[in-house]
Amino acid sequence: MKAFIASSSRSKSEEDLKIAKDVANIVVEKGDGLLCGGISSGMMKAVYEVFHSLGRPVTCITLEVYQEDLKEVEESLLVETTFDRTKALYQQMDYAILLPGGSGSMAELFSMLEEARTTGAKKMFLYNENGFFDSVIALLKECIRAGKNDETILHYFQVVTSQEELKEVLKGEEI
């Protein structure tokens, strides 16, 4: 199985890097491979390094402009646009774990959320240990309140707030 892990490629805070490594280790312990959109820096580099150091398979789907990132990756696919990348990631993933990230991670979240809503859901987990996704969840609830979405939009992802909870849902779910 392949886990798509989305996270910041910019953040280098010790707290974020620890989260990235801890979540990567949970997925490795489950026995799954990594599917990612880049590995050059930040949290994504930390995730990649865990998988690589433990000999787990890594597939990277990224843009041609970032092809230098792919030197160490076992399997890769180059695409022309971020839209193409998100589509390919969604098609190849078995499930997604979204860690704190910037506009790229948010674009992936909302694109995948809409794809799940319209064509069939794949499991998505928002890793919300420190409340990073609270405002995103509040925005979705405001969309519901304003009649822009119905409540089912909240059914396409599961919020997890700790490593223990993530381990349980990954272990207990048929993904």
pLDDT tens digit string along 66-124? 777 777 777 888 999 999 999 999 999 999 999 999 999 999 999 999 999 998 779 99
- Selected residue with higher pLDDT from 58 and 120: 58
Q: Is residue 113 part of a domain?
A: yes
Residue 123 lies in a domain: yes
Domain span including residue 100: 2-170
Which residues have CB under 8 Å from 175's CB, separation 6+? Answer: 1, 94, 95, 123
Q: Note if the pTM is more than 0.85.
A: yes
76 found inside a domain: yes
pLDDT of residue 77: 87
Q: Tell me, what CATH number does 121's domain have?
A: 3.40.50.450
Per-residue pLDDT for 46 more than 70?
yes
What average pLDDT does range 122-137 have in this prediction? 96
Using the predicted structure, report yes or no on whether residue 174 has a pLDDT greater than 70. Answer: no
DSSP-derived secondary structure letter, 131: S
Instruction: Count structural domains, the chain.
Output: 1
Is residue 66 a part of any domain in this protein?
A: yes
Residue 131 domain-assigned (yes or no):
yes
Query: Which pLDDT score, from 0 to 100, does residue 75 have?
Result: 85
Mean predicted confidence (pLDDT) in 56-62? 92
CA distance to 68, 95, 101, 155, per residue, from 22 (Å): 26, 17, 16, 26
98 beta partners: 6, 126
Computed on alpha carbons and rounded to an integer, the radius of gyration of the chain in Å comes to 15
Residue 175 lies in a domain: no
Other beta carbons within 10 Å of 173? 11
pLDDT at 35: 95
Please state, in angstroms and rounded to a whole number, the distance separating the CA atoms of residues 147 and 150.
Answer: 7
pLDDT value at residue 83: 94
- The answer to whether residue 128 sits within a structural domain is yes
Alpha-carbon separation of residue 89 from 83, 95, 105, 137, 162 (angstroms): 10, 10, 12, 23, 25
Q: pLDDT at residue 140 above 70?
A: yes
Is the per-residue pLDDT at 11 higher than 90? no
pLDDT range class, residue 60, cuts 50, 70, 90: very high
Q: Whose structure tokens read 């433990």?
A: 54
CA–CA dist 67, 87 (Å, integer): 18
Give a yes or no: residue 12 inside a domain. yes
The SS3 call for residue 3 is strand
